[in-house]
Amino acid sequence: MTLAPPPAEERHGLTDAEYHLVIDALGRTPNDVELGMFGAMWSEHCAYKHSRPLLGRLPSTGERVLVGPGENAGVVDIGDGLAVVFKVESHNHPSAVEPYQGAATGVGGIIRDIFTMGARPIALLNSLRFGPLEAGPKTSEDAATRNRYLFDGVVGGIAGYGNCIGIPDVGGEVTFDPTYSGNPLVNAMCVGIARHDEITLARAAGAGNILLLVGATTGRDGIQGASFASATLGEDREERRPAVQVGNPFLEKLLMEACLELSGRPGVVAMQDLGAAGLTCALAELTSRGGVGAEVDLDAVPRRERGMTPYEVLLSESQERMLIVVTPEAAAQVESVFARYELHAARIGTVTAEPVIRCRAAGEAVCDVSGRSLADDAPRYAIHGSPRDAAASSGLARLAAEAPERARVLELLGSANARDRKPIWRRYDHMNGTNTLVGPGAGDAALLRIKGTARGLALSIDGPGPARIGALDPFLAGASAVIEGALNVAVSGATPIGITDCLNFGSPESDLGAWQLERGIDGIAQACRVLGVPVVSGNVSLYNETPGGPILPTPVVGTVGLIEDRSKALRMAWAPGEEIWLLGEPGDDADALAGSELAWRRDERGGQPSLDLEAAARVVGLLPHLADEGIVTAAHDCSVGGLAVALCRMAIAAKIGAQLELGPADLPVAVLHGERAGRVIVGADPGRADALRASCRSAGVPLRRLGVAGGDDLALRLGSATVDLPLSELAETWSRGF
């Protein structure tokens, strides 16, 4: 006889079919605790049920890759026995419910992913998306008020956690669009440095080895947070507050220092942080990766609330906790290290040879589950999507042909998606650790020294440019996000060596959502192959929807670049007398406006965007050579607002104007404000012009001389028309507050 599954509200998000798969995995009906464990571990947030079959398309190997996807973070060799360790994670749903703690615990979680690997975190970055902060045609006053609340809370949470723990927040991006109203995106990236011999993996081994639960005591916060993060946001968000964790950065600082002290020590077998699904996930992943099991006494788990059930102890997502596997001989010494940092270190169980997790409470068995069943055997769904019909836009052709206007340039420069982010990043301490050479706002990428060497790391996190291209072509959204990140580090003079991606999409169960997810991943994969850059870690966040609809498809890419001699890094600001050049395909046709800031401000939502990946990759590959040879000294890529806004940014950074001839006047608005990725403005001494031409010719990169830097105004000429922009007005427009 087939038993009917329990009511939907008791299955923690499991479907009828998945419930029966749980029975098959156990060979019996699950008890309430086991059902909760499977519900969390088989959620989209933990199991990647719809995305994992697609993620194998991403290139993840390379000569520098030491650890690829599947561990807590990716690890890439940077020479001299050192490695860079990095990953990006999302905390979108928690931040929509409780923005301060949602963002703060997102930062705390990604930091643990890094020091769990034995790496010292040296930098944080973030990619943030919000609905408009001001009411408008597509945003009500109530929605704008809510968006401002979310914006202030998220920025405060990031600042509060990062500043307290002492890790600099060195870069990021912020974008506004009505589709993010009520469903903000909060993607946090952390970067660390480790010696090769200190890298620690999350793989339990050795029957009889001891399981130490270290750090904060366990409470009821965050229970079934993984299931919550795998559902569409509805009107019940206030009821979801208990699913949001609460962070303590001061305790995490102690936990980080203790774990780093122990990394690489004999007797420390593995480390795993407790994030989504709490102790359940840590036990499942440690044992499944190691092919072992665990015996756990839940009564030994230190807790801060009375009367907690075994279900609550296993599924709590209380922050600042780690599960450490140590040999019996090393246990006392490891415990003494944690005691010195005034941290709990409780022996809660042992590793077993039989690959089963057995937990008991009050002397009674509460679960008997294979770690592999929890961590690896969730169902995989082949998604079958279909695209929305592409929208043609004759309006783009008319817009592209309009006369150039000073007011239009200033409108875009001062728009929410282009203006100065100083009101945001000044709340972050970006100089902690004394490694930061180029911080937020001073360049397209942050630049950090690698102490003890001449090298530097260029770091970026960015989404697709143009920002709204995902609505038109998610393949190009993924591809252009990769190109944007690669250009950000390349204009610093660095070579991109690895990326981490965060895939923010709507429901994969709709035809459109499935198509957007698949095409976005394919775009990232293709761009990475063309660039020769591996994806070594990442995160997937689906069901980013409200009753008003899904977010824009938003693939976000964190990029790490390496510069061998950081003294040769490029600046953003040009210098007086330097010649200004444009590298890359011109991008001055009407469809270069498709998905652009200008087009969407004019409600032109169609068009056929395009991107020549091979051509863009040649620009990325050329820039480190130009920097190393001293052929160019300044560089900035064209992004939001196009060529005109990029030139304004360089002039503002330099506090020096320029007299520039931008080219033919047939489609002046396309020339000024087209946003096709793959173009870079560089500044070079006039004496290096021949070397620049020769290098571009050898690399197959188009080159156009624009003019010379100097004066108090920025003059942009297109044929007989000139747009004159006084530097004082540019600076005032760009620096307006939010």
- Rounded CA-CA distance 34/26 in Å is 10
- Rounded CA-CA distance 27/11 in Å is 18
Amino acid code (one letter) for 201: L
**How many angstroms separate the Cα of 685 from the Cα of each of 579, 623, 708, 712?**
6, 16, 10, 20
- Answer left, alpha or beta for residue 623, where phi above 0 means left and psi between -120 and 50 means alpha: alpha
The three-state (H, E, C) secondary structure of 356-408, written as one string: CEEEEECCEEEEEECHHHHHCCCCCCCCCCCCCCCCCCHHHHHHHCCCCCHHH
Task: Answer for the pair 86, 498: CB distance below 8 angstroms, yes or no.
Answer: yes
- Rounded CA-CA distance 632/581 in Å is 10
Count of beta carbons in the 10 Å neighbourhood of residue 346: 18
3-state helix, strand, coil in the chain (%, to 5): 40, 25, 35
- Answer left, alpha or beta for residue 136, where phi above 0 means left and psi between -120 and 50 means alpha: beta
HSE-up of residue 689 (Cα within 13 Å, Cβ side): 12
Q: What are phi and psi of 137, to 5 degrees?
A: -55, -35
- Rounded CA-CA distance 40/46 in Å is 7
Catalytic residue among 12, 20, 50, 91: 91
Angle at 70 between CA 66 and CA 75, to 5 degrees: 25
Per-residue tokens: 737: 């507050």
- Answer left, alpha or beta for residue 707, where phi above 0 means left and psi between -120 and 50 means alpha: left
Catalytic residue among 45, 93, 344, 430: 45
Per-residue tokens: 419: 């203006």
625 is an active site residue: no
**How many angstroms separate the Cα of 365 from the Cα of each of 10, 31, 249, 455?**
21, 11, 35, 54
Q: What are phi and psi of 332, to 5 degrees?
A: -65, -40
Question: Coil, strand or helix: which one is 201?
Answer: coil
- Rounded CA-CA distance 306/314 in Å is 15
Peptide bond preceding 726 in cis form (omega within 30 of 0): no
93 is an active site residue: no
Per DSSP, 5 falls in state P
- Answer left, alpha or beta for residue 433, where phi above 0 means left and psi between -120 and 50 means alpha: left
Residues 6+ apart with CB under 8 A from 30: 22, 23, 38
Longest dimension (CA), the chain: 87
Q: Where are the alpha helices (DSSP H) in 564-658?
A: 597-601, 613-628, 642-654
Residues pairing with 152 in the sheet: none
Per-residue tokens: 538: 């990442």
Radius of gyration of the chain (CA): 26
Query: Which sequence positions are flagged as catalytic?
Result: 45, 91
